[in-house]
Amino acid sequence: MPRFPSLRPIAFSLMAMALGAAHAGTVTVVTSFPKELTDAYKKAFEAANPATKIEVLNKNTTASIAYIKELPAGQRPDVMWASAPDAFEVLARDKLLTAAPEVKNPHTPARIGNYPINDPQGLYYGQALAGYGIMWNTRYLAANKLPVPKEWSDLARPEYFGHVAISSPSRSGTTHLTVETMLQGEGWDKGWTQLLEIMGNCAAVTDRSFGVPDGVNSGQYGIGMVIDFFGLAGKYSGFPVEFAYPSVTAVVPANIGLVTGAKNADEAKKFIAFTLSKDGQQLLFDPKISRLPVLPYADLKVPAGYPDIQAVAKKAKVQFDSELSESRYQVVVSLFDQMVTFRLKELQAATKAIHEADKKIKAKAGGAANAQAAELLKQARGFAYAPLVGQDNVKNEQFLELFRKNRRDVAVSKQLTGQEELWANKAKSNYAKATELAGQAAALVK
Amino acid sequence: MAADAPARAAAPRFRKAGAGWGAWTVAAAVAAFLLVFLLVPVGLVIFTAFVDETGGLTLGHFANFFDQSIFRESFFNSLIVSLGSVFFASLIAVPLAYLTVRFEFRGALLIQTLGVLPLIMPPFVGAVALQLIFGRNGSVNLLLDEHFGFKVPIMDGLIGVTFVESIHYFPFILLNLVASMRNIDGAMEESALNLGAKGFRLFRRIIFPLAMPGFLAGAALVFVKVFDDLGTPLVMGVTNMLAPQAYLRITSVGIDDPLGYVTSVLMIAFSIFALWMAGRVTKNRDYATLQKGGGSLQRRRLNGWESLLAYGWIGLVLFVVLAPHLGILLMSFAKVWSFSVLPDAYTLDHYANVFENSQQMIGNTLLYCVLAAGLDVLIGTAIAWLILRTTLPARRWLDYLASIALAIPGLVLAIGYLRLFKGVDLPFTDTPVVTSWVLIMLAYAVRRLPYALRACMAALQQVHVSLEEAAQSLGATRWRTVRRVMVPLMAGGMLAGFVTSFITAAVELSATLLLTSSESNAPMSYGIYLYMQSVSGRGPGAALGVLAVVVVGVGTWASHHFAERTRTPERAAS
């Protein structure tokens, strides 16, 4: 019978010849960390342990979790290594992490500030520290004649309109921590007002955390709200950027953990222990990596001018409360997306109108008309920058519970989408109202 | 089969191949492939959209979806951007195709090859490079600001997405249109000329309508591709479109939101609807012409000012559409490039880095993509033949099913594969399927199948069935007819399909990310992604991007060259 030739025999022979299975003595590490970092650890570890090979699998945090979850025990990678603490929480909840207390380095302090460096349940371990702050492009600021910002509140000033960038907290665990830090540092209501004022000045809310430092490095954005090593690595790689910690910051660890059902648990533990050891920690000072070790600086050779994270943590105003953060995680990210990420254009328009009215009023102080204009402007700010969920609501267990329920339940999903729809509409109409009021205020000024 | 032939020749009018068992076998093989590697894996994942927490069936999630104004808004934004992109992509592609096919043109081959390059925009690097050229503080805007005191916000919002999508996807129209214009019978044009049609009228009334299957195939691809594209809106920070909404909901850490899957289901449904519409337009018309051959359309010379205008236009278009590649090239040599028109200093270190660390990835990319594209053309030709040359019941459904792949997010397909093949070993080995590169290759083949399929369909639509009838009357079996008459005549379109599948597979990222299980199996797109995650990786990432473009570009050029050479003897003979 005449038939189409089949590719199958070819495919089979190719399969047979090209498949090099992972042999014994290989430790597979799933990580969201960049290649320079993983390459440095791979080289150093393999040099010290020639019998063991490190195979690095780089995936973003979401893909890493899906990958580990979908594989059967025994075929999973051995080590998970990433920044976002929530990723480890998810894995721990699904019983995909195994405790390995013997890997811990006794020199590692128990806490940084008020935050425990290792997971209290012992399922994952702090491997490097990170604080949050502001990075800026010096050429960009010079070209636009902008002063250097020092505190988060500076970023709300009119001169920074359209120059700031952040990534969305629902996408980036590190940004969520930044946002949560501000909310804990300033209090819920005041924190949101300040956050929304800054967001009104944002040029973009990026999808990836790395989108922000990348944009600042290349000069697309002037100022970014980022995790410290993004700013420091840019600076030490020669880009015209600087980084500083504002006083409202929190220092939290990036983590490493042993995956349950790993192929090669013994050697995996050796690798984890190496990353926590003195030699492993010293690698973090490489200019391309520029991360902050968990070991005290006294144990290590620290390059000159390197930020002293312990001092930053001591000075930091916020004692980060991870339980509070965890309990309202869904509310914060969902509210942020509905009020900022999906409504950025409207928020920008309102902020622009408010800045313009404010400028006019300040230029011509005094007079009854101006007093009225100032009142209108105050109302406009009230509409634009008030959080849609009040302080009391976010402490209400019933309200929080709704966001933790299973979204597959149609009724729950209906309630949730109803809530989100409410926020979305309210935000949109509030921003429109604020724009209108600010416009009226500007028109009143003679 | 040979016994059939006389009976068929005796029939008053050539019967279509009918529903013989050969046709059934081919149809069953294609259907099985689609079932195992597309429908079942995807079904396993999007099932979530239809069940509640207890596993019972429900449509409640769909009701919830339509209650949200953000989704309605996203839907219209996606629609507007898609239509806008088809329009602007046509503006770029139609003149390029017409000028290079119809006129004696120095460098026509080069232009057609360069015109395909935009499809090979490596993920992340392409968008970053475009920002560096056209972004708010990119080279163009910095120059404009310095000399004229204004900036063009072409990379902002929906306009920005439309701009990037148009210059990224117009090659779909270009490739298909060129293939179909080459297939037009020169006699048609001569008749029109004899009857007095000239210039634009000739183009509008004769050439363009005859090339319609190619144009529509390309335009439908652009529409669906833009409608489902995720990367561009995300990188440009536009979230009020359907694909980003679905993605954001599926991939937020720790949430498994059914509304994300509902969005995927609706996107799939709408994409199929769009393709069905495009299919309807060409369905009841006859585009087939009898004579074949690239030389059959006359090529004319342009006079002085005409060629000046033509070269000027082509130069401008090529500058705009190749800007991302220019940007990548500069990035790959740049030490530091920040807030300036050009980089501060240049270096070769990035290439040294890439050659030292990433050689294997280049080989992997070539292997996976050639296999995937080959599989695509094979299946595409089979489906085209089944639909156009047989009377199997419900044969059009094969087309619709294969086209679903266009609308499946890579992430969904990849998760589906991991679930379906969990615990299955490759035949004759102990290696689990999920850790082998075979899945990556199959994911490429399935995701890029619709491209090859559209091209093969368009090609076969233009082959007049009487040529095959003639072959069969002369005693050729059906298989021999396919092999010696049909396939050679549609070779141009098949090649266009192969090239499109090959080059778009080379830059696939979303499924690659999830299915890559070790660095030794990783293709280049994975390597580029990896590099682009860090400050010091931008240079090497861009260098790898340049290599990807060069490798794929050379492949494209070679296949065009091959096509031109196989055409030449035909011309001499005719």
Name all domains of chain A by residue range, CATH numbers in brackets.
22-129+253-315 (3.40.190.10), 328-446 (no CATH)
Structure tokens at A82: 């990433």
How crowded is residue A291: how many other Cβ atoms within 10 Å of its Cβ? 24
Q: Distance, in angstroms, between A407 CA and closest chain B CA? A: 6
Distance from C-alpha of A258 to C-alpha of A266, rounded to nearest angstrom: 10
For residue A136, what are the CA distances in angstroms to A140, A163, B44, B145, B339? Answer: 8, 10, 46, 21, 12
Whether pLDDT at A86 is above 80: no
- How many distinct helices (H) and strands (E) make up chain A? 19, 13
Distance from C-alpha of B24 to C-alpha of A256, rounded to nearest angstrom: 55
Residue A270: per-residue pLDDT:
94
Distance from C-alpha of B434 to C-alpha of B427, rounded to nearest angstrom: 13
Determine contact, residues A105/A276, Cβ cutoff 8 Å.
Answer: yes
Chain A residue with the nearest C-alpha to that of B434:
A71
Determine contact, residues A266/A51, Cβ cutoff 8 Å.
Answer: no
Query: B477 at the A interface (CB within 8 A)?
Result: yes
* Burial class of residue B498 in the structure, from the number of CB atoms within 10 Å of its CB (0-12 exposed, 13-18 middle, 19+ buried): buried
Using a CB-CB distance cutoff of 8 angstroms, which residues of chain B are in contact with residue A211?
235, 237
Query: B145 at the A interface (CB within 8 A)?
Result: no
Chain B residue with the nearest C-alpha to that of A84:
B253
Residue B288: per-residue pLDDT:
66
Residue A124 β-bridge partners? A257
From the candidates B253, B259, B498, which should be mutated to test the interface with A, based on the most A CB atoms within 10 A? B253
Average pLDDT over residues A198-206: 92
Task: For chain A, give the percent of residues with pLDDT over 70.
Answer: 94
Per the model's pLDDT, the better-predicted residue between A157 and B313 turns out to be A157
Tell me which residue of B49, B67, B41 sits closest to B263, measured CA to CA: B49
Is B131's CB within 8 Å of A12's CB?
Answer: no
Residue A221: per-residue pLDDT:
92
Identity at B397, one-letter amino acid code: W
Contacts of B219 (CB under 8 A, 6+ apart): B86, B89, B90, B172, B173, B278
Per residue in A292-306, pLDDT tens? Answer: 999 998 888 888 888
Average pLDDT over residues A162-166: 94
Per residue in A226-247, pLDDT tens? Answer: 988 889 989 988 899 999 999 8
Tell me which residue of A324, A313, A330, A351 sits closest to A419, measured CA to CA: A330
Chain B residue with the nearest C-alpha to that of A39:
B357
A220 Cα distance to chain centroid: 20
CATH topology of domain B20-573: MetI-like fold (1.10.3720)
Chain A residue with the nearest C-alpha to that of B69:
A421
Identity at B458, one-letter amino acid code: A
Structure tokens at A103: 């890997």
Is B339's CB within 8 Å of A240's CB?
Answer: yes
Query: B56 at the A interface (CB within 8 A)?
Result: no
Is A424's CB within 8 Å of B69's CB?
Answer: yes
Sign of dihedral through CA atoms B351, B352, B353, B354?
Answer: positive
Using a CB-CB distance cutoff of 8 angstroms, which residues of chain B are in contact with residue A218?
128, 131-132, 135, 137, 337-339
Residue whose pair of structure tokens reads 């709408």 in the numeric block = B270
Average pLDDT over residues A56-67: 79
Candidates B132, B254, B411; nearest CB to A86 = B254
Contacts of B220 (CB under 8 A, 6+ apart): B274, B275, B278, B454
Q: Distance, in angstroms, between B517 CA and closest chain A CA? A: 7
Residue B123: per-residue pLDDT:
61
What DSSP element (H or E) covers A220?
A: none
Work out the widest C-alpha separation in chain B, in whole angstroms.
80
Residue B197: per-residue pLDDT:
75
Alpha carbons within 13 A on the beta-carbon side of A207: 21
Tell me which residue of B69, B336, B564, B527 sits closest to A418, measured CA to CA: B69
How crowded is residue A269: how many other Cβ atoms within 10 Å of its Cβ? 19
Is A66's CB within 8 Å of B423's CB?
Answer: no
Residue A148: per-residue pLDDT:
95
Question: Using 50, 70 and 90 to split pLDDT, how confident is the model at A377?
Answer: very high
Determine contact, residues A335/A399, Cβ cutoff 8 Å.
Answer: no
**SS3 annotation, B511-553:** HHHHHCCCHHHCCHHHHHHHHCCCHHHHHHHHHHHHHHHHHHH
Chain B segment 232-291 residues within 8 A of A by beta carbon are 234-235, 237, 239-240, 244, 248, 251-259
Give the gyration radius of chain A's Cα atoms. 25
For residue B302, what are the CA distances in angstroms to B104, B115, B286, B446, B535? Answer: 7, 21, 32, 43, 50
Report helix angle B157-182 to B304-333, nearest 10.
Answer: 120
SS3 helix, strand, coil % of chain A, rounded to 5? 55, 15, 30
Residue B296: per-residue pLDDT:
54
Structure tokens at A428: 């949109």
Contacts of B409 (CB under 8 A, 6+ apart): B228, B230, B243, B246, B247, B250, B264, B510
For residue A34, what are the CA distances in angstroms to A29, A30, B96, B236? Answer: 13, 11, 41, 22
For residue A56, what are the CA distances in angstroms to A23, B484, B508? Answer: 14, 50, 21
Structure tokens at B20: 């013989």
Q: How many CB pairs under 8 A join A and B?
A: 240
Does this complex have an ipTM over 0.85?
no
pLDDT (tens digit, 0 to 9) for every residue of chain B, 574 residues total?
Answer: 344 444 444 333 444 455 578 888 999 999 999 999 999 998 888 887 888 777 778 888 888 888 788 888 888 999 999 999 999 999 989 888 888 887 777 777 777 777 778 877 776 677 778 888 888 888 888 999 888 888 888 887 889 889 988 988 898 898 888 888 877 777 777 787 788 777 777 777 777 787 888 888 889 889 888 887 777 887 777 888 888 887 777 666 445 677 878 887 888 788 778 877 877 776 666 666 665 544 556 677 777 787 888 888 888 888 888 888 888 999 899 888 888 888 888 989 899 888 887 888 888 998 999 999 999 999 999 999 898 888 888 888 888 888 888 778 787 788 788 878 877 777 777 777 777 889 999 999 999 998 889 888 888 888 888 888 888 888 888 788 888 888 888 888 888 888 888 888 888 887 887 788 777 888 988 888 788 778 888 888 899 989 888 887 787 777 767 666 655 444 433 3
Query: B299 at the A interface (CB within 8 A)?
Result: no
Is B67's CB within 8 Å of A21's CB?
Answer: no
Using a CB-CB distance cutoff of 8 angstroms, which residues of chain B are in contact with residue A408?
48, 51-53, 256, 258
For A95, phi and psi rounded to 5 degrees? Answer: 55, 40
Distance from C-alpha of A427 to C-alpha of A344, rounded to nearest angstrom: 10
Per residue in A253-283, pLDDT tens? Answer: 899 999 998 888 899 999 999 999 999 999 9
Is A15's CB within 8 Å of B427's CB?
Answer: yes
- Please state whether B237 falls in left (phi above 0), alpha (psi between -120 and 50) or beta: left
Tell me which residue of B278, B228, B240, B250 sits closest to B458, measured CA to CA: B278
* Burial class of residue A14 in the structure, from the number of CB atoms within 10 Å of its CB (0-12 exposed, 13-18 middle, 19+ buried): middle
